[in-house]
Amino acid sequence: MATPIFKCIHAGDLHLEQPFSGLGQIPVALLDPLLDAPYLASESIFTAAIAEDVDCLLLTGDILSTDEPGPRSLVFLVEQCERLAARGIPVYWALGGGDPPLRWQPTSLLPDSVHRLSGKEREVFHQLENGTEVRLLGPSENRASIRKADYPTVEDERISLALGYGAACPDTLGELGYHYWALGGVHLRETLSRDPTMHHAGTPQGRSAGETGPRGCTLVEIDGGGSVQTSPIVTDAVRWSTCAVEVGPETSHEALYAKMEAEISRGLVDAASRPLLISWQIVGTGPLVRSLQTAEAESKLLEQLNAADHGRASIWHIAMEVVRPAEYPAEWYEEETIRGEFLRSLQVIQKEGLAQADWEEHLPHGAVGTEVALRIAQEGERGHQLAVKRAADLGVHLLSGEGPEDH
């Protein structure tokens, strides 16, 4: 890539007032870090914009609450935008489903350098120091998906960026000639296309056990020929993690605990001093797995893990799932019944796997289906096996009137 002539940070889905979910009892020492995490993560976006000396900041929706924003989030957003305004860095904000409407009165508190791209004011021409103009175009109206018909075709050589919110189809949108599509509405960072570049920056802070791993924003650099390079910037202040452990018939409780300690050590390295919230998946066969398959046993093991001393590291174990392989009486697989047909199909999936295209076609259309697909893809092979196990248990329960604990 040649020397960039345009540089920006793309961020979205800040959800400043959205609390963490899926947490039961948590220690007092973690209360403030959890409350502050969305703001600390979002502050890191603005700090990165200043450190990188970008031309502008792109926000692609779901920044504040649709309802009346609270004073903390409003004051925070104003202060952060003023930090950028003092450095001459404008903010271009494409509205999403969770943002206040254009008629929102507190807009007057934001500095003039903040431009909300929507409706008649959705197009902006950003002037670079060398005199070059960069076109930025937001959505024509607030929708749950990005439609080709809502964006005009690029008809000149100017570097052009489109901002949008919701589900997107790379094949149709790619025909319009924009160099970069800044997308919002999906919490997982993903590049849908490289020609042209269509990118979800994801959320800067995970809010639940389903949003594991690093979260952040994206540095976007474009050269004079229109080539685009994207680089992740990690911003999350609290890290969610799912740790998986396999056990066999001979695995003891002590051996299981040692495996879990090893996973915790790896998680601490990845979290890089951030508070760590861990969900556990224990998979296997044998007496240890059977002994753990009660709420009381799982709760006792979680208490044991949470009582451990990890020095200055902040760790909290929030949930545990203990599963055995989906195995049922041999005669059930031979039945000429709906249950028998279901189990035979399940057996094929267990042996041969399930291609992504096979399960994607059964997902709902739009942003929900896109989010589910991204999460399944992120889980990897172990996550797919657990999904098959859960589907098997539910199917057998519905078709036979008894759950797996009965056989």
Q: For 314-325, how does the pLDDT look when each residue is reduced to its tens digit (9 = 90+)?
A: 999 999 998 876
Percentage of residues in the chain having pLDDT higher than 90: 57
Spatial separation of the C-alpha atoms in residues 237 and 69, rounded to whole Å: 22
**Taken in order 325, 330, 335, 341, is the CA torsion positive or negative?**
positive
pLDDT for the residue numbered 98: 74
pLDDT tens by residue, 281-309: 998 888 898 889 888 999 999 999 999 98
Does 173 have pLDDT greater than 90?
Answer: yes
pLDDT for the residue numbered 143: 73
Does 373 have pLDDT greater than 60?
Answer: yes
What is the average pLDDT value for the chain, to the nearest integer?
87
Mean pLDDT for the stretch of residues 148-171? 92
pLDDT for the residue numbered 405: 46
What tokens were used for 367? Answer: 């942003």
Does 108 have pLDDT greater than 80?
Answer: no
Does 60 have pLDDT greater than 80?
Answer: yes
pLDDT for the residue numbered 324: 72
pLDDT for the residue numbered 406: 45
Domain residue ranges of the chain, discontinuous segments joined by +: 4-234, 239-406
pLDDT for the residue numbered 377: 60
Comparing 105 with 146, which gets the higher pLDDT? 146
What tokens were used for 161? Answer: 């960026």
DSSP string, 53-86: T-SEEEEES--S-SSPPPHHHHHHHHHHHHHHHH
pLDDT for the residue numbered 49: 98
User: Which CATH number applies to 4-234: 3.40.718.10, 2.30.110.10, 3.20.20.100, 3.60.21.10?
Assistant: 3.60.21.10
Does 384 have pLDDT greater than 90?
Answer: no
Spatial separation of the C-alpha atoms in residues 54 and 52, rounded to whole Å: 5
User: Residue 180 in contact with residue 191, Cβ under 8 Å?
Assistant: no
Strand partners, 123: 137
E strand map for 146-301:
159-165, 180-184, 190-194, 197-200, 216-223, 228-234, 239-247, 276-284
Does 404 have pLDDT greater than 50?
Answer: no
DSSP string, 2-69: --EEEEEEEE----TTPPP-S--S--GGGHHHHHHHHHHHHHHHHHHHHHTT-SEEEEES--S-SSPP
Strand partners, 228: 222
Question: How many secondary structure helices (H) and strands (E) does the chain include?
Answer: 10, 15
User: Residue 221 in contact with residue 58, Cβ under 8 Å?
Assistant: no
Q: Which residue blocks in 185-294 are alpha helix, DSSP H?
A: 253-271, 287-292
pLDDT for the residue numbered 50: 98
User: Residue 231 in contact with residue 1, Cβ under 8 Å?
Assistant: no
Mean pLDDT for the stretch of residues 164-181? 92
